Amino acid sequence: MLPRYSPETLGFLIADTARLLRAEFDRRTGAAGLGLTPAEARTLSHVARVGPIRQAILAERMGIEAMTLSACLDRLEAQGYVRREADPSDRRAKLVDITEAAGPALDQIFAASIAMRADMTQGLDAGKVEEMRQMLVAIRGRLVAMRPDCGKGSTQGNAQGNAQGSIAQ
Query: How many CB atoms within 10 Å of residue 134?
Result: 11
Report the predicted TM-score, pTM, of the whole model to 2 decimal places. 0.79
The mean of the pLDDT values for the chain is: 87
Spatial CB neighbours of 52, under 8 Å, sequence gap ≥ 6: 85, 95, 96, 97
Cross-strand bridge partners of residue 84: 96
Q: 51 burial class (0-12, 13-18, 19+ CB within 10 angstroms)?
A: middle
- pLDDT tens digit string along 40-53? 999 999 999 998 99
DSSP state of 94: E
Q: Is the predicted pLDDT of residue 157 greater than 70, yes or no?
A: no
pLDDT of residue 159: 42
Helices (H) and strands (E) in the chain, counts: 7, 3
Longest distance between any two alpha carbons in the chain, whole Å: 59
pLDDT of residue 161: 39
pLDDT of residue 51: 83
Secondary structure element (H or E) that encloses residue 40, with its range: helix 38-50
Cα–Cα dist 34/11, whole Å: 33
Backbone angles phi, psi at 148, to 5 degrees: -65, -20
Cα–Cα dist 88/10, whole Å: 41
Q: What dotted CATH number matches 10-122? A: 1.10.10.10
Give 2's pLDDT tier (boundaries 50, 70, 90): low
Contact 39, 72 (CB under 8 A): yes
- Structural domain boundaries of the chain? 10-122
Beta-sheet pairing, 90-98 with 82-87: antiparallel
Contact 24, 33 (CB under 8 A): no
pLDDT of residue 164: 36
